[in-house]
Every structure is written in structure tokens, then in C-alpha cells.
Structure 1
Amino acid sequence: MQESGNDIGVMRAALEWYSAMGVDMALSDEPVDRFAAPASVQKTAPASMPSGAQTTTDAPAPTQTHMQPEVHNVEEAKALAAAATTLDALREAMDGFEGCPLKHRATNLVFAAGNPDADIMLVGEAPGREEDMQGAPFVGRSGELLDRILAAIGLNREKVFIANTLPWRPPGNRNPTPAETAVCLPFLVRQVELVAPKVIVTMGGAASKTLLKTEAGILRLRGKWKDIEVGEHSCTSIATLHPTYLLSQPAQKALVWRDMLSLKAKMATFE
């Protein structure tokens, strides 16, 4: 039976969706129709089983779906980050690091972009699908929105430095685990130390909680200035909403506009 071009297109779209959701391997050679399976399976006790013995229908314990970085991986990340004296050396160290399971599911390392001599550093959460494909932070629709946000206060990508809390994309854009964040944090800290910005703008809840060392929600954190220490570097910071969030909640753009006006006022003190 010859497949039509439409069928092939549908299958290709399905495979792309599976890939985007982090499904990258089959569990068996043949598909299983779960709807056709019986609702329950009765197990019969073997003839040799003693009278009164209890049978069980428990399935084997599921395997862990997300490998968690071990403590020694965090220590290795700290050592590699500390040894990097330039951003190029840090990127090379991250490229060779094997201690974060996310790396083995990601397409590219998303290191950073922008001007390493900038006074302002933007820190996002984790790469999405477009960032993962291109190996650059804040691209696609969220990147276009970020460009418009920056332009509104006279900034562009040549005047800021942009990084992410995690350099590898979590499968399906899920939230990173605390362990994944912990093993990637030394690399972000070293980026901050090497760039030495005057202001860090944390974009989104994950970045804000990580660098501000708090469990408060982003709507409580945004718009407030706070002096922080990141590794050996001290600077001031302001939290705001992530552009991806604004794409689904456009009414919240007014809050980000207030944050950007506050940032513009702070920039005036640099001159």
C-alpha cells in the first residue's frame, strides 16, 4: 500500500511533536494498543503456592525517568567553571562537561549572546525548542518580543549580555529539577563573574528564584531592586516577567513596561 504525501506529512508532524516533547526512543519494537488491552488481568496462583498465601498483581517499579546529577558532578562543574579565565574557555568547559543529563537530550549548548562588556546582563530560564535548535538564547517569537522590549528603552543585543540559568533544554520544555539547576549553576555564576555587569535583569520565575535565592513568586519579586552577590561579583538586580509568559498573557506587558522604565532610570545613573 503506497502512502500518500499527506500521510507522510502527518507522520513527520507527529515525529516532530514527539521530539519537541522529549520522546526520543521506543520502549518496544511493536506498538501496543492500550485501548484494546483488558481493564484488569487476573493472576492465578501457582499450584505449589501454600494455601492462604497472598497473590500480587503489582507491576515492577517504574524506572526513574530523569537522571539526577550526583554531588560529584556539581563539584566537577564548580572546578571547571572556576578554572575558566575567559568566556571562550568557559564555553569550551561546558561543551565538554558530561555531568548534566540534559546535555544528552539537547541538540545544542545554548551558551550566551550579546556584548560581554555590557553593564546590563539578562538572565533567562532555560532554552526552548528554537533556542535549542539554533544554539542561541532568546530566539523565535520570545526573542522578537525581547528585542522590542529592549528597543523601547534604547537597548539592543549589542548593549546587553544574555544568558540562561540552564544552558541545555529540558525535554518538552518541562521545568528543570532542583538537581539540574544545581549542576548548571556554577557555569552561570562564572559567566556573571567574567562579565561583571552593573545590573542583572532576571527574566521569569526560575532565574529570579535562583539568583535572588528566594522561593517567592515572580509577581511578588518583579519590579524591585535588590543588591545581590553572585559568586565573587556584587551588583544590583531587578526581576521581570519572561517574554514567553507575555506571549500567553499579553495584558501583563504593562508590568514589564514599568520594570523597563525603572531599568532606564537606573541606566541614567551609570553616565
Structure 2
Amino acid sequence: MISSNDMSPAELAALLHFHAEAGVEWLLEEAPVDRFAEFSAAKAARGNGMGQALQKTQDLPASDTPRARTGRDAGHAAGNRTPAAAVPIAPQMAIPDEQAIAEARQAAQSAGSLGELKAAIEAFSHCNLRNSARNTVFADGDPASGIMIIGPMPNGDDDRDGAPFSGKQGQMLDRMLAAIGLDRSTVLLSNVIPWRPPGNRVPSPRETDICRPFIERQIALAQPKHLLILGNFAGRFFFGGNETIHQVRGTWRDIKTGDTTVPALATLHPQDLLSAPASKRMAWQDLLAFKARLLG
């Protein structure tokens, strides 16, 4: 086995990035540990200790046993008892609070352009997701197109490339757009969350609340005329409720962010089509409805 001491800084950084993309969040010992043997040894030690203590108690005169002590003697014994060592508490990761949300709102509102908003998001350090992500994934494409496509959050490919909808999901989205005469250079691509969660998990409600001001400000600055929302998480984020993407897809709804109201249509995420190719028929119906609205 190769030790980390034998690796160059570049090799070690590449290895850590590989583990991060795989969802690894904790580093363990380099040498294997037999926890079953440790447990058996500890159990045997506890058994021997209890047996010895019991034997000593049986050898004491009746007047010196704990059961025979009363009144002042019992209180004196209790007062001389050595306090048990405090059990160390593992440090907890900081939980974002209302102040973090307020600072996110302030940072977002202070941005007067998409470039300033990108800089504000990259400088923001009060969201736990930022600490585990390799890159801040901001919008990509043409803000002047009037068409904005918003997914849930970056995946491993997006985090590596620093751009939304990379890898296989991006290729599938390219095919979806091409089917209605669009491509990624003629739309604005973005995500609700700008940082990839560890292991591609769903962001917590608190993490979502912290990121909300940034995507809402992004919509206000880009001023799209039409929104295409992709997947469960993004659909629930914008429309509210707990309905699945299959329940909200294909229906136009108005999204209001600040003073901006934009018509939005939800459809399946490219990953949904990769996981269940039979869903392509529903996505195709939604894309045709989106194209008809663009042409109308």
C-alpha cells in the first residue's frame, strides 16, 4: 500500500479530489483495525474487573460493605469519591443560522450585474456546502437570450469542470435542447445550489435557505422571459409543496422573485432520462410545449 508520505503534493491533491467526488467525507486509519477483537478484549476486561470487585466486596466485614453504611459514614464515603473523568464530546460542524441567511441576502442584493453576483457567491463563506466543493458553479451561456434553464445542484462532473451540466447529464441536456432547435450557447444554464453537496446528497432546508437569495438575484439580473425547471428539487424549490416532478411537469406556472415574474415550465432532469429512458416521451411532450410558448 502506498503511504501518503510517499506521494507528491499534486498526487495527494488528485487523490483527495477523487475521494471527494466519490462522496468520502472522513479519513480513517491507514492500517486496518479489528474492531471485533477490540470489543471482545474490552468485554473480557470489564468482566474480570467486575469479578475482582465482587470478590473484594465479599471479603469485607459486614459493617464495611456499602449496604451497611448509613448516615454520616455514607455521606463521608460519597464525598471522598473520585469524580469520573469527563467524556470528551466530538466537535460539531457549525450549523448555519439566520445571520448567514441575512448575509447571503445582503451579498446578493449588493450585486448589480451577473459578474458581480458571481464574485459575491465565490467570496461567500457561510454555507457548509462551499467547504466540501471544489468549485463554485455559476451560470453559463447567454443571459440575453431570454431563456433560462435551472437544475437542482452541481454533480461531480460540474464540480470538476466548474460549469453547469457537464458530463453525461450535460450531453443528454444538449440532445434535449437540440430537439427543439436550441443549444447551450443560446440559453442561460444554472442551478439552484452553486456548490456540489458531498456525495450528491440533497441539500438541507437550511442550506437551501442560504442559497435562495443567490438564485433569485440571478433571475432578477438575467431577466429571462421563459424558465425551464429541471427535476424534483428545483420544481419544489420554485413551486413549493411536496409534489413530484411527474405531478408538476408540463404545466406553466408563474414564478415571482422580488419584482420579477417569469412564466416557468417544469420537466424531467436529464439524469431522470438516463436512469429511466422510458421517461423520454414525457420530456419530449414538455419540450414541445416549451418550444410552442417560445414561438408564440
Q: Which residue of 2 aligns with 1:20?
A: 21
Normalized per residue, the structure richer in helix is 2
- Structure with higher Rg: it is 2
Q: Which residue of 112, 115, 132 maps to 2:142?
A: 115
Residues 177-256 of structure 1 mapped to structure 2, 5 A cutoff? 177-256=204-283
Letter of the aligned partner of 1:267 in structure 2? Answer: L
Q: Describe the shift of the 1:151–1:35 C-alpha distance in structure 2 as closer, same or farther (beyond 3 A).
A: farther
Deviation larger for 202-211 or 32-41: 32-41
Match in the other structure for 2:98: 71
Q: SS where residue 150 of structure 2 aligns?
A: strand
Cα deviation for residue 39 of structure 1 reads 6.3
- Alpha-carbon deviation of 1:118? 1.8
**1:51–1:163: structure 2 CA closer, same or farther, 3 Å change rule?**
farther
Q: How does 1:85-234 map to 2 (within 5 A)?
A: 85-234=112-261
Answer whether contact 1:123 1:164 (CA < 8 A) is retained.
yes
How many angstroms does 1:216 deviate by?
1.1
TM normalised by structure 2 equals 0.77
Gaps of 5+ in 1: 4-12, 53-58
Deviation larger for 43-52 or 245-254: 43-52
Determine if contact 1:86/1:194 at 8 Å carries over to the other structure.
yes
Count how many residue pairs are aligned between Structure 1 and Structure 2. Answer: 254
- Give 2:60's aligned residue: none
SS at match of 2:126: coil
* C-alpha displacement of 1:212: 1.2
Q: Which residue of 2 aligns with 1:84?
A: 111
Quote the Cα distance in structure 2 between the aligned partners of 1:158 and 1:214.
33
Matched, 1:257 2:258: no
Distance 1:39 1:193, change over 3 A: farther
Residues 227 and 51 of structure 1: CA distance in aligned 2, closer, same or farther (over 3 Å): farther
* SS of alignment partner, residue 117 of structure 1: helix
1:68–1:180 contact (8 Å) kept in structure 2: no
| C-alpha distance in 1 between matches for 2:245 and 2:163 | 24
CA positional deviation for 1:194 = 0.4
- Cα 1:252–1:39 change in 2 (3 A) is farther
Task: Tell me what 1:9 maps to.
Answer: none
Could you say if the C-alpha distance between residues 190 and 40 of structure 1 is closer, same or farther in structure 2, counting changes exceeding 3 Å?
A: farther
What 5-or-longer segments of structure 2 have no aligned partner? 4-13, 58-64, 68-86
Q: 1:87 to 1:16 in 2, by over 3 A?
A: closer
Does structure 1 retain, via aligned residues, the 8 Å contact 2:273–2:280? yes
Instruction: Determine if contact 1:132/1:169 at 8 Å carries over to the other structure.
Output: yes
Which amino acid in the other structure matches residue 151 of structure 2? G
When residues 41 and 192 of structure 1 are mapped into structure 2, their CA distance, relative to the original with a 3 A threshold, is same
Identity score, percent: 40
Residues 128-186 of structure 1 deviation map (CA, whole Å, 9 limit, x = unaligned): 11100010000100000100100100111122111101000001111111111111111
Classify the secondary structure of the residue corresponding to 2:184: coil
- CA shift, 1:78, in A, is 0.2
Residue 33 (structure 1) aligned with residue 60 (structure 2): no
